[in-house]
């Protein structure tokens, strides 16, 4: 197998890997700014320079020349090469800053150049703390600056579009953002204008940077030049803790991080997953974080009364209603809820002799773009169908409900009124039990018992995306009440394990009085006298992964942070 020697150590390789990516893959850090693995290589930042040599060959015979010790004679390139644009070949010898003074000096020189016109406003910059320029300047840069002149001044606050603001002075012209709009989102809405040191990216005249993926440029910007209109100056990076999660805006299940401070979700950024969303996230997935913080319920309510209702009284009322209506109760699952929640609903319906009719589909034809946005606006439609819960035919069921066929309705984490399943008037004579997220839920005025449910940021559970990939989520913030499963997971799930000292998640600030549906329903089942209900979502999925072929192998261990691809449903029918 061909091999290269990097800093004196031999590495084997296959194919024609780029040197920079090869080094990064093997844990050899090389400073860089413009390189991004999914975009073209302009080699314009000149930060990743390395010294490269190759075995010298005899001109006449083509044989590799060897010295007295039998070692090949290494001939070095006359100039330092950018590792991002260099393709490795057999026998090459590469020196990084660790073994070459020349490379070390060159990298230091480039950083000195980058910093001369870069404003040193790190204390007020949103990027500070996770800024590649800041980090690499400390690691590889010069001690001070020899620049004694006025820095170049450029536009300071340019609103490129509705969601992205540019500070042109901070820009180091890596062109990542321009390449993103050219090569990845293909909107072509950004370009570089001016020349030389006055360069900066901007939209062409008359164009607004409003494409549905615009906020990705904020993540790939290696400095704080591009910032989010929404998140600008809201929090310092070290005050928040990030938790790996997935977005629930659509059926793609893009992987993301939820950034939380004091139990408030402050922003959502993409998490790399080559099988789902690579490095990207649509804007609509990011801007939904407020629904985790705002309009959340104060607690359970019976007959619209929250103040004098405890969880116990509301559970008792639900059990009474279940016993009273039994078979004549309409159970409705939810494509917003996890697989575990829906499975528990199936158990509950079975326990009282009823059936889960289906889930309310939320399909917005034409919304999808074949990439990270889908027509289906729910995260778990596929999970429901795999459990045997079909999408409801809305006109048909609307007619049945309005004809007064049912005396009662049990709705899991959805809004039948707003989604058009039934009108508020038709529910007046029905006993409605509702698991809900936000107080904006339009079905609330008709509920007999309303139970606040934990949202994706607060729960543990599994979602199955449109292509049959099962992905689990972990809690990013704490809810009121004692749930040992959630509390233990909170201590483990964050990227920095226990949260930052600035994130007071263990204080009781911003606790939401809600419970995950997988906790609520087993309590009801117990009160109904059902035994052997699996306790906790992990055990539920363990059970499902063995008992239900549609979830074969989808244990929490197998899913990990990247998810697991389930076999397609058609094949199981045939098998």
Partner 1 sequence: MTKAGDWKSYQRVLLPPVKNLHHLNIYRDQGGYEALRRVLSEKSPQDVIGEMKRSGLRGRGGAGFPTGLKWSFMPPVDPDKPRYLCCNADESEPGTFKDRQLMEYNPHLLFEGILIACYAMSMRACYLYVRGEYASWITLMEQELSKAYEAKLVGENMMGTQQHMDIIIHKGAGAYICGEETSLMESLEGKRAYPRIKPPFPAQSGIWGAPTTINNVETLACAPLIMERGGGWFAGIGAEKNPGPLLYGISGHVNRPGVYEYPTGMLITDLLEIAGGMRGGKKLKALVPGGASVPVLRADMIDGVTMDIESLKESGSMLGTAGMLFLDEDTDMVAFLRRVARFYHHESCGQCTPCREGTGWMENLITRIDDGEGNLRDLDLLLDLCDQMEGRTVCALADAAAWPVRNTINRFRDDFERRCRPSSWAVNA
- Contact residues: partner 1, CB under 8 A: 41-47, 49, 78-80, 82, 85, 106, 109-110, 112-114, 116-117, 146-147, 149, 152, 172-173, 191-192, 194-199
What is the smallest separation between the CB atom of 116 and partner 1, expressed in angstroms?
A: 5
- Identity of the residue, 52 or 540, whose beta carbon is nearer to partner 1 in the bound complex: 52
Beta strands in 239-287 (DSSP E): 241-246, 255-261, 264-270
- What whole-number distance in Å separates Cα of residue 243 and Cα of residue 490? 9
- If the CB atoms of residues 204 and 420 are measured against partner 1, the closer one turns out to be 204
Pairing type for strands 461-464 and 469-473 reads antiparallel
CB closer to partner 1, 144 vs 196: 196
CB of 108 to partner 1, least distance (A): 9
* Distance in Å, CB of 40 to partner 1, minimum: 10
Q: In angstroms, what CA-CA distances link 293 with 43, 437, 500?
A: 43, 10, 20
Name the residue nearer to partner 1 (CB basis): 146 or 484.
Answer: 146
Whose Cβ is closer to partner 1: residue 62's or residue 196's? 196
- Residue 199 CB, nearest distance to partner 1 (Å)? 4
- Measured from the CB of residue 222, what is the shortest distance to partner 1 in angstroms? 12
Q: Which is nearer to partner 1, 114 or 260 (CB)?
A: 114
User: Of 17 and 562, which CB lies nearer to partner 1 in the complex structure?
Assistant: 17
41 versus 128: smaller Cβ distance to partner 1: 41
Q: Write the CB contacts of 157 (distance below 8 Å, at least 6 apart in sequence).
A: 165, 166, 167
Region at 573 (left for phi over 0; alpha for psi -120 to 50; beta for the rest): alpha
Least separation, in Å, of the C-beta of 38 and partner 1?
Answer: 18
523 burial via Cβ count (<10 Å: 0-12, 13-18, 19+): middle
Query: Closer CB to partner 1, residue 32 or residue 252?
Result: 32
In the complex, what is the shortest distance from the CB of residue 142 to partner 1, in angstroms, rounded to a whole number? 11
Of the two residues 113 and 238, which places its CB atom closer to partner 1 in the complex? 113
Cβ distance to partner 1 smaller for residue 108 or 237: 108
If one counts every other C-beta atom within 10 angstroms of the C-beta of residue 187, the result is 16
- CA dihedral of 355, 358, 360, 364, whole degrees rounded to 10: 180
Q: Are 121 and 90 in contact (CB under 8 A)?
A: no
What is the nearest approach in angstroms of partner 1 to the Cβ of residue 158? Answer: 18
Tokens for 365?
């034809």
Phi-psi region of 510 (alpha: psi -120 to 50; beta: other; left: phi over 0): left
How far is CA 100 from each of CA 31, 56, 81, 291, rounded to the nearest angstrom? 15, 20, 13, 53
| Token pair recorded at residue 421 | 């399943």
DSSP strand E in 440-497: where? 447-452, 461-464, 469-473
What's the length of the chain? 575
Q: Residue 436: which of 414, 458, 459 has the closest Cα? A: 414
CB of 64 to partner 1, least distance (A): 22
Q: Quickly list H helices, 260-356.
A: 283-286, 290-293, 311-325, 339-351
* Minimum separation from the CB atom of position 204 to partner 1 (A): 12
Q: Check if the beta carbon of residue 515 is closer than 8 Å to that of residue 451.
A: yes
Q: How far is the CB of 149 from partner 1 (least distance, A)?
A: 4
233: left (phi over 0), alpha (psi -120 to 50) or beta: left
Q: How far is the CB of 111 from partner 1 (least distance, A)?
A: 9
* C-alpha closest to that of 254 among 280, 231, 283: 280
Of the two residues 196 and 206, which places its CB atom closer to partner 1 in the complex?
196
462 three-class SS = strand
Q: How many CB atoms lie within 10 A of CB 163?
A: 21
Burial grade of 507 (CB within 10 A; 0-12, 13-18, 19 or more): exposed
């Amino acid at each position: 197998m061909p091999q290269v020697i990097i800093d004196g150590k031999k590495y084997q390789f296959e194919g024609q890997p780029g040197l920079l990516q090869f080094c990064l893959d093997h844990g050899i850090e090389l400073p860089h700014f413009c390189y991004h693995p999914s975009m073209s290589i302009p080699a314009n930042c000149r930060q990743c320079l390395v010294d490269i040599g190759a075995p010298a060959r005899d001109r006449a015979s083509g044989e590799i020349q060897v010295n007295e010790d039998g070692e090949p004679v290494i001939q070095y390139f006359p100039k330092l090469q950018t590792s991002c644009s260099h393709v490795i070949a057999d026998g090459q010898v590469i020196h990084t800053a660790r073994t070459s003074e020349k490379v070390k000096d060159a990298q230091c020189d480039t950083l000195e150049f980058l910093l001369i016109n870069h404003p040193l406003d790190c204390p007020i910059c949103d990027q500070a703390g996770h800024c590649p320029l800041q980090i690499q300047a400390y690691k590889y840069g010069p001690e001070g600056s020899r620049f004694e002149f006025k820095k170049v001044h450029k536009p300071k606050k340019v609103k490129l579009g509705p969601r992205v603001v540019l500070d042109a002075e901070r820009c180091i012209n890596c062109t990542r953002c321009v390449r993103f709009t050219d090569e990845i989102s293909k909107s072509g809405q950004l370009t570089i204008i001016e020349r030389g040191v006055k360069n900066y990216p901007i939209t062409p005249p008359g164009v607004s940077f409003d494409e549905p993926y615009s906020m990705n440029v904020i993540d790939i910007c290696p400095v704080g030049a591009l910032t989010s209109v929404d998140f600008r100056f809201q929090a310092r990076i070290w005050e928040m803790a990030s938790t790996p999660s997935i977005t629930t805006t659509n059926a793609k299940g893009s992987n993301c991080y939820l950034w939380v401070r004091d139990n408030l979700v402050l922003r959502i950024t993409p998490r790399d997953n080559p099988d789902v969303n690579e490095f990207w996230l649509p804007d609509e997935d990011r801007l939904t974080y407020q629904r985790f913080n705002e309009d959340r319920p104060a607690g359970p309510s019976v007959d619209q009364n929250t103040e004098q209702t405890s969880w116990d009284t509301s559970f008792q009322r639900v059990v009474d209603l279940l016993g009273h209506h039994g078979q004549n109760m309409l159970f409705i699952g939810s494509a917003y809820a996890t697989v575990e929640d829906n499975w528990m609903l199936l158990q509950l319906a079975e326990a009282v002799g009823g059936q889960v009719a289906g889930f309310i589909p939320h399909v917005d034809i034409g919304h999808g773009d074949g990439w990270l946005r889908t027509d289906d606006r729910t995260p778990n439609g596929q999970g429901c169908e795999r459990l045997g819960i079909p999408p409801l035919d809305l006109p048909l069921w609307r007619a049945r409900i309005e004809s007064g066929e049912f005396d009662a309705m049990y709705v899991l984490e959805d809004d039948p009124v707003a989604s058009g399943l039934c009108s508020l008037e038709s529910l007046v004579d029905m006993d409605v039990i509702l698991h809900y997220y936000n107080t904006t839920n339009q079905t609330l005025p008709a509920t007999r018992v309303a139970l606040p449910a934990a949202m994706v940021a607060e729960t543990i559970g599994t979602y199955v995306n449109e292509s049959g990939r099962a992905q689990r989520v972990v809690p990013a913030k704490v809810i009121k009440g004692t749930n040992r499963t959630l509390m233990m997971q909170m201590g483990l799930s964050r990227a920095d394990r226990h949260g930052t000292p600035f994130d007071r998640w263990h204080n009781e600030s911003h606790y939401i009085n809600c419970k995950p549906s997988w906790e609520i329903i087993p309590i009801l089942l117990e009160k109904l006298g059902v035994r052997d209900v699996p306790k906790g979502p992990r055990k539920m999925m363990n059970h499902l992964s063995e008992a239900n072929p549609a979830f074969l192998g989808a244990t929490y261990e197998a899913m990990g942070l990247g998810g697991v691809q389930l076999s397609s449903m058609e094949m199981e029918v045939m098998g």
